[in-house]
Each structure stands twice: as structure tokens, then as C-alpha cells.
Structure 1
């Protein structure tokens, strides 16, 4: 069974130097990147998570129907609800047509076809829009730009640092040269005009294609790092990296990203992005103070518990 290669880093600068496009380690492959606020999080799309705190966790449909078929029906219902809201608001959704609306409303569940995997291609743009507005889908966000992934890892981290717990943020790197040969995992690149955010972030997605779903089985959440085919079909490249950094370095990482022009204002065009940049700046200010306080507490505890530690 394959597994990602983990590389820990101690400082934000070390991580940025490593993920730089100028680093020779990236020159031969086609890597895409993803940032996450915790190295303990698996690469599982939001709608596929079924533990406590997941979307719809306590709803009757989630409690009573735990099959893979029920999972896909749940995803379709979420998208139908999103599109209904867009219709009510008079919003144009790229890729959304009258034909797709009729299929979604059909009692025959024509998107749940035995000979076509879910999600089907005509739904990709719609799902991309929903994803960018925080509607849970089975898409997983990635970017072609490693520094963008660093920004998202740092900006989504908790700045209330429990230094003793040694929490870490993570930046993932996935090699995609042989993605056309993958059967389970698919790369989805909607046109740049699908979303301003997607274009600004050089965004793309991965999705688990569900082919064998049934009302008689029990759905198991999909995690990208557990898909064996990415390790089997790799042509000599390292297929998956997991790069970690102490969360105490997240404020510095945010600051360095900002100095390189990667911040809320450039990744989220519009007033929302400008406001996000201010929020990130505030988190940097708070994070630096919490980080130093946590380090001081950690050093004091170490000195008190072991007189040989200075």
C-alpha cells in the first residue's frame, strides 16, 4: 500500500524555499498543491466526511441511509438546493442549463446512472461554483501555484496556539502526469471564466469518481492519499508529498506570502478579498504575540521539569 512522503520543516522560510518553482525537485513532474490547516486532516472532500461535525451529520437521511447510493443522492440534493437558491436570486451559474435542471428534478435520478460515474462532466462547472462559495461537494481544491497553497494553509490555521500539542499545518503536492490513466481519481479544470476566484488562485480540483454504488452497501469516505492507483501509475515520480510546518510559523508564512503578492486581495478579487487581507493582517499580529507567548511558556515548562534543559 502506497503512502505520501512526509517532509517536516521548522521555519516558514524553509518551507517556501522548498516549494518554490525554482526548486529542482519540481522540474520533471506536473505537481499541483493544496494547503490545509492541520497535518492530521486527510484529503477527504467536505461532503464525503461523515463524522461528528460534518455537514448534515444529525439529519435523518444521513442517519438512516449510510449506503454509497444514499451518499450520491445526498450530494445531488445539496446541488439542487444551491441551484434553486441561485434561481431565486436571478444568478447565472456557468454550465447550468434548462436540460440539467430538468434532469435534477426528475424522479428517475438520471444523474445516478449505472454506466456513468458520478460526478458526470456536465456537472463540473456547477460543482466548481458551489465549491467556491463553500457549498460542500466531492471536489477537493488544488492550485498550480505552490505559494497559493502555502497561503491557504496558513490563513486557515488556528492562531490560538497550543504549543505543547505541537500542531502543524500541511502543504500537499500531487504529481499529475499520469492522471489521464487514473480510473478512480479525476483531475477537473473548469474554464477560467467559471469563477474569478478560481482564475485568481490558478485553481483546479480532484474528484473521486463513484462507479459502483449501491443501496445495499455502507459508504466509506474517500481520501485521496488512500487511492492506490496514484502510487501504482507514477512513471518514477514521487506521487504525493506532505510538507508540514509548526503552526507557530503560520503568521510568518502569511507575512512572507503577502510580500510575494499572495494575499486575500489578489486571491479573492473584489471587496471580500480586500476585507480578507485585513483579517489576515490582524491574524498575523495576533499570531505573532500568541506564538511568542507559547514559546516562552514551553521554555519555562521545560526548564522547570528538567534542570538539565536550558
Structure 2
């Protein structure tokens, strides 16, 4: 099976030059981008994640979501609780209609159709709104702007590092040129009015589709990079890139993104975004100090383990 092309960089400037839309490498396809705080993370939608720290870990309802059908029912329960809360708070959710409210309350089996894929198009906007407020769905966030992906990779990174190894952050690039031919994975673009944040971030989503014949199958969470169809018939590695950078370069990457007009205040319009930009600034100062300490310690450990060291 094909695997992503991994491209490591050692400085933030080198990485930004590579992911820049001015780089002609991106002219050969229709690429979308995603930033992640660790190169060890897979492209797995949040509702699929298992283990300590994941949403609902330890709850019987999630533990019994072991078949495709039960997994979808679990997703519908999460979405329903989000919408019920919005109803109680008087919040308008784009795409939420009386018909969907009725189906969620009384006819959830209608979402498990033999003739239509899950998630169905009428649910896309609802799921997009939920996703942007950290409610887990089977959507995976992407952006059409590479610098936005860089910001998210750097801003979400943790500087509590193991001195024995310096972690790396990752920016993924996925070619969607032939996405209309994909069956397992779909690209979802909701209207800009669905979410101000989504519009500011040039956001879109990928999602894993489900067809009725597999509803009784055991549910095996699948990372997007493990789906063969995204590599095309020729299984070309250029269909998906994983571009990595040492964690200690994340503060510099944040600063450079800010100079390019990409920061919390521009990606999250409103007071929340401005406050986030202030927190990012503070984290940069902390990160610079902690990262330098980690580098120094790693260098010292490497020196002491050198067989020529006396």
C-alpha cells in the first residue's frame, strides 16, 4: 500500500518557503492542507479516536459502538445532544430544520439508508458547526491556505517535551484533483455563512462515508492516509505529503505566520480570536525558553552517549 511522502525541514523559514502558494509544486494538483501538533498523529476524525484522553473514553455507550451501525448511532447521539443544547440556548444552527429534528427524535434509522451515504448532505452544515465548537464528528478539518495549516500546527503544539527526543509538528497536504472519483472519502465545502471561523480560515472538510452493506461490520477506525483511493490508480506518493518541523521551531513559525497576517485575531473573528492571539504571544515567549532548554538537554544527552566521549 502507498504511504505519504514525508518531507522534513529544520527551520520555519524553509518550511514556509516550501508550502508557499508561490511554490510551483502545488500547481500540479488541487491541494488542501491540515496542521497537527505532532508528526505522530494520524489523520483520524475525532469521533473515531479511542484511548485515554479521547472523547467519551470509558463510557459504556462509546465502548459498545463496535459495529458500523452502532458507531453511527453514537455519532447521531452526540449531534442530537449538541442540537438540543442549541435549542435550549436559543442558538440558530445552519442547516437545522424541523424535519431533521423530527428524524433525530423519532426516526434515526432513516440516517442509515441503503440508498444514501452517511453522513448525508443535509447533515453537513450541522456537523461543520459542531466541529468548529469542538464537538467530535467524523469530519476532519482542512484549509485551502497552507499558511493557515502552519498556524494551527504551531499554535496547538505542546512544549512539554521529553529531553531525550525533540518532537516534530506536521503539515499535511492532500491532492483533491480526483476526489470526485473517491467513494470512501468525500470533500465537504459548506457555505461561508455556516461559521465565521470557517470562512476566515478558508476551511473545508474530509469525511469517511458509509454504505448500508457494511452496517453490521465491525467498526475499525481508519486514518485517512490509510485509504488507498486517495493515492489514485497509480498509487502516487505525491497525492499526499507530510511536511514536518522540529517543535523548537514552532514559536518562530507562529511569529512568521503573524507577519503574514495569519494569527488568532484573523482566523477567529471577534474577541475570542483577539484573546487567542494574546495567548499565542505568551506561548511563543514560553516556548522559546522551553524549546531552547530541550535542545540544550538533547545535545548534552547526545554528547554524553557518544562512544568517543571521555
TM bucket (normalised to shorter chain) is: over 0.9
1:107 is displaced (CA, Å) by 4.0
1:294 is displaced (CA, Å) by 1.4
Residue 252 of structure 1 corresponds to 252
Matches within 5 A, 1:29-178: 29-107=29-107, 109-178=109-178
What SS does structure 2 have at the residue aligned with 1:238? helix
Contact 2:167 2:247 in 1 (8 A): yes
Structure 2: unaligned runs, 5 residues or longer = none
1 CA distance for matches of 2:232 and 2:177? 13
1 CA distance for matches of 2:68 and 2:213? 5
1 CA distance for matches of 2:189 and 2:206? 9
TM (norm. structure 1) is 0.95
What SS does structure 2 have at the residue aligned with 1:88? helix
TM (norm. structure 2) is 0.95
1 CA distance for matches of 2:223 and 2:237? 21
Residue 274 of structure 2 corresponds to 274
Report which stretch shifted further, 227-236 or 44-53. Answer: 227-236
Task: Give per-residue Cα distances to partners, 1:56-101, cap 9 Å, x unaligned.
Answer: 1211122234111100000000000000000000011111111111
Residue 228 of structure 1 corresponds to 228
What SS does structure 1 have at the residue aligned with 2:140? strand
What SS does structure 2 have at the residue aligned with 1:152? helix
1:154 is displaced (CA, Å) by 0.4
2 CA distance for matches of 1:237 and 1:42? 17
Q: 1:141 to 1:117 in 2, by over 3 A?
A: same
Contact 2:29 2:176 in 1 (8 A): yes
1:235 is displaced (CA, Å) by 9.6
Report which stretch shifted further, 205-214 or 191-200. Answer: 205-214
2 CA distance for matches of 1:277 and 1:29? 32
2 CA distance for matches of 1:174 and 1:165? 28
Structure 1: unaligned runs, 5 residues or longer = none
Residue 238 of structure 1 corresponds to 238
What SS does structure 1 have at the residue aligned with 2:269? coil
What SS does structure 2 have at the residue aligned with 1:119? coil
Contact 1:160 1:287 in 2 (8 A): no
Contact 1:11 1:249 in 2 (8 A): yes
In the alignment of these two chains, the number of paired residues is: 310
1:193 is displaced (CA, Å) by 0.7
In angstroms, what is the RMSD of aligned CA positions? 1.8
Contact 1:69 1:213 in 2 (8 A): no
Q: 1:307 to 1:225 in 2, by over 3 A?
A: closer
Task: Give per-residue Cα distances to partners, 1:202-243, cap 9 Å, x unaligned.
Answer: 000000011146564321002110111111247978210000
2 CA distance for matches of 1:223 and 1:10? 26
Residue 208 of structure 1 corresponds to 208
1:106 is displaced (CA, Å) by 1.4
